Chain A
Amino acid sequence: MKFTKICMSLVMVVVLFGTTLAQMKLNGAGATFPYVIYSKWFDVYSKQHGVEFNYQSIGSGGGIKQVTEGTVDFGATDAAMTDAQLASVKDKQGSDVLHIPTVMGAVVITYNLPAAGKDLKLTSNVLAKIYLGQITRWNDNEITSINKGKNLPDQAIIVAHRSDGSGTTNIFTDYLKKVSKTWAINIGMGASVNWPVGLGGKGNEGVAGLVKQSEGAIGYVELAYAVKNGLSYASMQNKEGNFIEPTFESVSAAAAGAAKNMPADLRVSITDASGKDSYPISGFTWLLIYKNMKDKSKAKEIAGFLTWAMGEGQGFAKDLYYAPLPKEVVKMCEKKIATIVTE
């Protein structure tokens, strides 16, 4: 009796070991924005190829930290790493880090002004001035002159922004920094900044809550969040002077516009992109991959997954409210993926 029990437990131990050996597990951490599509990808891919993924959406900053410390196999971020951060990884982990764009998102300007109805128009100049506290009322000349035919009320503008550090804020402030000198000098860009005016809400839902509840409020949220929740949002004037509504097409157009001058390392900001159909507050989200991983079998798996994500994976994007990569960018990514050292 005892003997058979021991035998059975021995067999079980062997079986357990066997499965862990056969099934590879890849650990990743980082951005929350692409979490939905990444979980879908990991789920589908692991069913097809038997690789297990464990992704923790702890935020872009956290992802970069973990990649630097070498506690994960890959990272994810909405804000490209700085040169100093890349140097620090090279120093600690002895490998370069590749930025692979996976999908795109956009930041939309949502507002609560029943008198204005839908499709309010905004220019970069007006938006910057509102967030700098230089335009404080809705019937300001600079707003009414671009919204002819709308009867904008004499009401205070309540500015809302994210209170938590976020990739969304990073894209938004990157845009404001590009279009406004005053913003560039006094505020700058980052996951959180020293806001001159406004109320802070935690997360997209916090900002949306502030805006929904306060008449006269303006705020910024992710495109996916705005579409899912049916928020009303403004058309933004782009570099060519056209007013563009944020859609998956206009976001992809921005990436295509930026693809012409894409730097070799793919770390590029596509805010205020050229192209007549480009929505100006768009951005990539990246996976952070070690170019030269110690565990080559893992590197091989990651490269395989990335190739799949660039092809079949892109098909999942629209249904999950992400903008897919334009073809030009996919080609560049594939070239980049080929440089991962797998042997």
Chain B
Amino acid sequence: MNKMKLSITGDKVFKNTTMLFAFFVFALVFLMAYEMVRGSELSLRHFGWKFLTTTTWDPVADEYGALPFIFGTLASSLLALVIALPLSIGVAIFLSELAPRWLERPVSFLVELLAAIPSIVYGLWGIFVLVPWLRNSVEPGLIKSFGYLPLFKGVPYGFGMLAAGIILAIMIIPIISSISRDVLQAIPKTQREAALALGATKWESTKIVLADGKSGLLGATLLGLGRAVGETMAVTMVIGNRSEISASLLDPGHSMASVIANEFAEATTDMYTSSLIEIALILFAVTIILNVIARLIVWSMTKKFKTT
């Protein structure tokens, strides 16, 4: 009797302690948001919504507008997604549907290894390999053949939005492809077997699997996008760091994360610091929104499979 009571109180203590740990996470997120709102109060009050829509970033005149950075972050991330998505889905399909066992394991391992490379290494590779290649081989060709499009107008600097997009694409491919692979593998074998039993080809059965996993794949994509949005070092090393909005992929741009990393240490006036913190707040909001959407989608998909 006594022993049982003891084990029940033990369970209670255990439950409550772990719950406390879990609440720490909530507390952390809220504290972070609170601190950022508090830190950016000055600029929130002074610039209001204008902060999101103006393009001047002038520390000398103490005038700040975040639009070029918001644009740069979104544009470079979307570009990365356009490049990375088809590749990653291809990798995932191959690994989950087609690859023989002996090949699947090492390829999966290598893909996950790519995710572990520090971003500064990607950045250095970008400066020394990617940028010269873009400047000397790719961009002159693009200008020559597609220069009439606003997307490919300009001077071949090498540094710019295109370089940032490619670097980010390489960085998010491992994330999107490994999560997509897990999603596809989670789809019951019976789906494939049923399709094959009805005389479907491998391609047709894969299409069915993809349709089933659609929302999960979308979730994987959004997680990759979230990573691209927050990436700092690799982007700042190749994007050209110019706070300008340009339609051309060849022109330099800037991003929210890189302006914070670049300028925070030397931000001397209160308004300057406050504006940088407000950019952090915007970035925080964007990442949270993306992650929430991703979670919701993945969650709705797993629920669907549990009920059927």
Contact = CB atoms under 8 A, between A and B. Distances in A.
Interface of A: 58-62, 64-65, 85, 156, 158, 163-167, 187-195, 198-202, 206, 209-210, 213-214
A213 B236 CA distance: 16
Q: Say which size band chain B's interface belongs to.
A: 20 to 34
Interface of B: 56-61, 127, 131-132, 135, 155, 157-159, 236-237, 240-243, 252, 254, 258, 261-268
Contacts of A167: 266
A60 B258 CA distance: 19
Given A199-B252, A200-B241, A191 B268 contact: yes
B58 A200 contact: no
B158 A213 contact: yes
Given A156-B155, A213-B132, A213-B158, A192 B241 contact: no
A200 B268 contact: no
Contacts of A163: 236, 241, 258, 262
Contacts of B263: 164-165, 192
A214 B158 contact: yes
Given A187-B60, A200-B240, 20 more contacts: A59-B266, A65-B268, A163-B241, A165-B264, A165-B267, A166-B266, A190-B59, A192-B266, A194-B56, A199-B159, A199-B242, A200-B241, A200-B242, A200-B252, A202-B236, A202-B237, A202-B262, A213-B127, A213-B132, A214-B157
Given A163-B236, A187-B60, A188-B60, A209 B241 contact: no
A213 B268 contact: no
Interface centre among B132, B155, B242 (most CB of A within 10 A): B242
B132 A194 contact: no
Interface centre among B157, B237, B261, B268 (most CB of A within 10 A): B268
B155 A198 contact: no
Contacts of B262: 163-165, 192, 200, 202
B168 to A, nearest CB: 17
Contacts of B60: 187-190, 193-194
Nearest to A84: B269
B185 to A, nearest CB: 41
B241 A201 contact: yes
B59 A198 contact: no
Contact of B242 (A62, A187, A198, A202): A198
A198 B241 CA distance: 9
A214 B59 contact: no
A189 B58 CA distance: 11
Given A199-B240, A213-B132, A188 B61 contact: yes
Nearest to A205: B127
A188 B56 CA distance: 15
A214 B139 CA distance: 14
Nearest to A210: B159
A164 B266 CA distance: 8
* 3 A-B pairs closest in CB distance: A165-B266, A200-B241, A163-B241
A61 B159 CA distance: 28
B58 A194 contact: yes
A60 B266 CA distance: 6
A82 B122 CA distance: 40
Nearest to A195: B242
Contacts of A200: 240-242, 252, 254, 262
